[in-house]
Amino acid sequence: MSIVELQQVSRHFTKGKQTVEVLDNIDLTIEEGDFLALMGPSGSGKTTLLNLIGGLDQPTAGSIEVAGQQLVGLSSRKLAQWRARNIGFIFQFYNLLPILSARRNVELPLLLTRLGGGQRKRNADVALTIVGLADRARHKPGELSGGQQQRVAIARAIVADPRILVCDEPTGDLDRETADEILDLLELLNRKHGKTIIMVTHDPKAASHARHTLYLDKGNLVREAA
């Protein structure tokens, strides 16, 4: 069953009088439970495609249905509420709030739910346990290594139990060994917890952890490898 369906999706950006075509008539279907790697050179439109699937951006043309919701035309408020329920985001530079402890960072998406303080804390601790950082709950991001910060970011992405994880170069800032640990963790989330993962990466080794890999070039999907 498909969880992401893009039809004839284009995204243009206008800078002054110049129009830059970033994505051009993309058709894409992603099955639920897939682990998809998106590869391609810089400027090929990978992150733009990821932003469209994650409901952070709207296409210039085309239709995007994700997790049973047509995203095109949704208001900013509706999109935010939809993201909170369905999407977990993982960024290259972790994007944790430096003033909050690991637990408080993980708890952030739960502030948008009806859960009480105690339950939020318990859920955050479970997420931290899954990523192997239960003992670092009180640490602030500045007191953690890059790999640990990315684990906290993954815990934050899964704490509200979204169906889809959207990862933008999640290992781009990490050394090989730590990157492998993060990728193993993503694989675990995909295989054991059934999360659909869409990951942008430049790294073929990172892409090898995915079930499928798509290549983008100049805004077009050019080939697919299993």
Partner 1 sequence: MKSFPLIWSNLFRRRVRTFLTLFSIVAAFLLFGLLRSIAGAFEMGVNVAGVDRLMVSPKYSMVDGLPISHLAQIEAVEGVDTATHMTWFGGTYQNPINFFPKFPVQPRFYFDMYSEYIIDPLQLDEFERIRTAAVASAELAEEFGWQIGDRIPIEGDIWLRGDGSNLWEFELVGTYRVGDEDTDFPSFLFNYEYFDEARVPETQGIVSNFMVRVSDPDQAAEVSARIDAQFENSINPTRTATEEEANRQFAAQVGDIGLIMNSILSAVFFTILLLTANTMTQALRERIPELAVLKTLGFTDRRVAFLVLLESVLLCGIGGAIGIALSGIALQALGPELEGFLGQIEISAATTLSGVGIALLLGVIVGLNPALSARRLQVVEALRK
The contact set with partner 1 (CB under 8 A) reads 51, 54, 56-57, 76-77, 80-85, 89, 91, 95, 97-100, 104, 108-109, 111-112, 117, 120, 156
Nearer to partner 1, 109 or 219 (CB): 109
Q: How far is the CB of 111 from partner 1 (least distance, A)?
A: 5
Residue 220 backbone dihedrals phi, psi, to 5 degrees: -125, 145
Nearer to partner 1, 22 or 213 (CB): 22
User: Pseudo-torsion of CA 206, 203, 170, 80, nearest 10°?
Assistant: -100
Q: Which residues of 15-48 are buried (b: 16+ CB within 10 A; e: fewer)?
A: eeeeeeebbbebebebeebbbbbbbbeeebbbbb
Q: How far is the CB of 39 from partner 1 (least distance, A)?
A: 20
CB burial of residue 77 (10 Å; 0-12, 13-18, 19+): exposed
Nearer to partner 1, 115 or 126 (CB): 115
Tokens representing 205?
Answer: 């080794």
Q: How far is the CB of 121 from partner 1 (least distance, A)?
A: 11
Nearer to partner 1, 18 or 76 (CB): 76
Q: How far is the CB of 110 from partner 1 (least distance, A)?
A: 9
How do beta strands 61-66 and 69-70 pair? antiparallel
Q: How far is the CB of 100 from partner 1 (least distance, A)?
A: 6
Nearer to partner 1, 140 or 212 (CB): 140
Give me the amino acid identity at 116: G
